[in-house]
Amino acid sequence: MKIAVAGMGLIGGSLYKASLKAGFETLGLHHGDKADLSGVDIIFVALPPKSITGWIEENESTFKDGAILCDVCGVKTPVFEEFRAQAMKSRWTFIPAHPMAGKEVTGFANADAGLFRGASIILTPYPFMGRGPLDKLCPVLQALGFGKIVSTTPAHHDEMIAYTSQLCHVISGAYIKDRLAPETNGYTAGSFADMSRIATMDEKTWSDLFLENKEHLLSAVGRFRERMEEFEKLLAAQDKAGLERWIKEGADMKRSLK
């Protein structure tokens, strides 16, 4: 089994290191590199969404028949739709994927072979694809450390990610811009660290992700605003019973999650 990773940022670099650690023959490619991929079984494309098409067009003539190619973009519907026609006729298989792992820092210097240990990876395979490519890919993903492999539709992925990831980044970015933030030295503990950690997101990458998933993210932001407006009204009215109910509902929901 031979693996190639195109893109040596945090995720691509971590896939590269995890693949080497798992004992696979592995080829790492920086953005813009060209290579003979005729002997490669699985290719991970860890490039910005707008660069994926160009990279594939430039390199697919060397892809091995039956090779599997996975992107790792955080929004799946645009990629899924863009490659649908090609996926139906290609001699290689495209499986959209999204590793649910990361850090608040970027770049190959921060890449970690253990980044995916126990993490989920979400796949949005084409319905016409069949089980064969998945049966080939999934054992490799497990060898790279992924603890859970989830298959779903691109639309459901994007709706969930708007809530579980993108909204969290939006809230963190808004939270840290408070006028009191410069005065927090000596006043912070775990809560502040947890809330502000992901505010250091890369602005180019995350603005693209937000725009690609605009409708789902707007819906998530609107629902969050409604819950905050409810809290604001209860607090302004000094409604202690209402505040207790509001807090308990959240605590009960958190405890119920697996």
* End-to-end CA separation in angstroms for the chain: 35
Name which of 221, 74, 76, 50 is nearest 155 in CA terms: 76
Same domain, 71 and 13: yes
Domain count across the chain: 2
Cβ-based neighbours of 50, under 8 Å, separated by 6 or more = 208
DSSP-based three-state secondary structure for 45 = strand
Cβ-based neighbours of 15, under 8 Å, separated by 6 or more = 5, 44, 46, 72, 99, 116, 144
Edge-first strand listing for the sheet containing 148-151: 97-99, 120-123, 148-151
pLDDT value of position 103: 83
pLDDT value of position 258: 75
Q: Rounded to an integer, what is the distance from CA 55 to the centroid of its chain?
A: 20
CATH number for the domain that contains residue 120: 3.40.50.720
Range of the domain at 218: 156-256
Same domain, 144 and 167: no
Cβ-based neighbours of 199, under 8 Å, separated by 6 or more = 169, 172, 173, 175, 176
Position 90 confidence tier, pLDDT thresholds 50, 70, 90: confident
Whole-angstrom CA distances from 184 to 48, 104, 189, 197, 198 are: 35, 20, 10, 14, 17
Mean pLDDT of the chain: 95
Over residues 122-151, the pLDDT tens digits come to 999 999 988 999 999 999 999 999 999 999
Same domain, 136 and 160: no
What does pTM read for this prediction?
0.91
Taking residues 217-238, report their average pLDDT. Answer: 98
